Chain A
Amino acid sequence: MTPEEQHIKEKIDGLSDLDVFFNDTKLWERLEPRLAQSKSRKQKVVWLWAAACLAIMGLSFYFYLLPANKQQKIYAVTPTHAKSHATIIKEEPAPLKQTVKKPHGVILAKPETQEDSVKIEETNERLTLTSLNYLKTTGKLSLPVSTKDTIPYAITYKAQRVTTMNLPVIPDAMMKRESFAKRAFRQIKSFNTEGKIDWRELNIEPRNVWAYLGRSFIADTIQIKTPKHIKK
């Protein structure tokens, strides 16, 4: 920097209000609301960001949980006839042979009269989902679901013919339910082995036979697929 430039700088720096006067009182009045505004604007921005984050989180949760909810609703089907049979079973825990014998004879034409300990009943394609027991569910349905939660919907798949067999609980006998069920199924199969029974005639032609063991339908159910020769 030259001496002359230094001289100019000193002179300019030494300028006072007498040389150039600015009224800065109004300037503060203009500045003050701006400072407050910037503060509130900052708060607004923070709130906006918070709201946006919440919205994104909410939407992501919603979309994440939506399929699960739908599934839950479909599964929320009350097993209606499990209770009523349970009472019958408790009153008369008769051996399985009795029921097996009944369709064996002439009574084949009247399968609806069966009231024995082992109850065989039929569901067919005309049934709505509310009357169907939920068969393919997992442990989610272990708690009783109120009927209010039931959502009727149009069945898009072909309903299976299902026979539910309620097996009694006999605490004193300490019966192994699994072996009991297997024996029951063996006996059911034997109906068809020698042509003694026609499932179609009985109108109970089952594809799957499910056993209701104890109080829980889901946990203790064993799926036993009927052999191909019975399906015919």
Chain B
Amino acid sequence: MNLNVTIQHCKAGNRKAQKAIFDLFSKTFLRLSFRYLNDRQYAEDACLEAFALIFESLKTFDYQSDAQTEAWMKRIVVNQSLKILRRNKNFLFQSLSDQDPLESTDIGIEDDMSGREILELISSLPDGYRAVFNLYVIEGYSHTEIASALNITEGTSRSQLFKAKMMLKKNLEMKKVI
């Protein structure tokens, strides 16, 4: 499927083209929003809102490449997921004190661990930690971008990431013991 042509049809309001775009990205986007929301129903809601927004915004979208288009769509899905997360759950972001170390820590994930196991580990994190971890490690956002997206300070973002890693490490160790 030529994504550029399909997008042009979408701009004209072609329902089949919209369905084709939906079929192409829906599963990826559902998994993506699920990583943030940790709830299937919320993930579906986020995807619905994201797709509605994508089809609406496509009218003014300038296609450059498939990767750029997918990144743009993913950003919308992430934003919608965060929106739902903010709406339904309370973040408990806590900044670290100055004495706390902020150097990079290894979680201790081994190479033979599957993606599903890693996903389960991430899902066990609290909402705030999970959101920052996802944004930083998987989406590749900077702390500045995360701070802006979550309406927190950069320091808080860094501390949330550090705590998330610490918690993942702890959970992983417990899992190994079990």
Contact = CB atoms under 8 A, between A and B. Distances in A.
B149 to A, nearest CB: 18
6 contacts: A8-B107, A8-B138, A12-B138, A15-B31, A20-B30, A35-B18
A30 B48 contact: yes
A19 B44 contact: no
A91 interface: no
A4 B136 CA distance: 13
Interface in A9-28: 9, 11-15, 17, 19-20, 22, 24, 27-28
Interface in B108-127: 109, 111, 113-116, 118-119, 122
B121 to A, nearest CB: 9
Interface of A: 1-2, 4-5, 7-9, 11-15, 17, 19-20, 22, 24, 27-28, 30-32, 34-35, 38-39
A38 B115 contact: no
B26 A24 contact: yes
Given A7-B111, A8-B138, A15-B115, A20 B31 contact: yes
Q: Is the interface of B mostly helix, strand, loop or mixed?
A: helix
B55 A35 contact: yes
A7 B108 CA distance: 11
B136 to A, nearest CB: 8
A34 B118 contact: no
A90 to B, nearest CB: 77
Given A11-B114, A34-B48, A35-B18, A19 B119 contact: yes
A34 B113 CA distance: 40
A20 B116 contact: yes
Contacts of A30: 44, 48
A11 B106 contact: no
Contacts of B104: 2
Given A8-B118, A20-B119, A24-B27, A2 B106 contact: yes
A157 B95 CA distance: 83
B115 A14 contact: yes
Query: What are the 9 A-B residue pairs with the smallest beta carbon separation, nearest first?
Result: A11-B115, A22-B30, A24-B26, A19-B116, A15-B115, A5-B137, A11-B118, A9-B138, A12-B138
A8 B27 contact: no
Given A11-B118, A22-B27, A24-B26, A31 B48 contact: yes
Interface of B: 13, 15, 18-19, 22-23, 26-27, 30-31, 34-35, 40, 43-44, 47-48, 51-52, 55-56, 104, 106-107, 109, 111, 113-116, 118-119, 122, 136-138, 140
DSSP majority for the A interface? helix
A70 B26 CA distance: 67
Contacts of B52: 31, 34-35, 38
A203 B104 CA distance: 116
B49 to A, nearest CB: 9
Contacts of B13: 39
Contacts of A39: 13
A7 B112 CA distance: 11
A213 B137 CA distance: 100
A86 B21 CA distance: 88
Contacts of A12: 35, 115, 118-119, 122, 138
A29 B40 CA distance: 17
B47 A8 contact: no
B22 A17 contact: no
Contacts of B122: 12
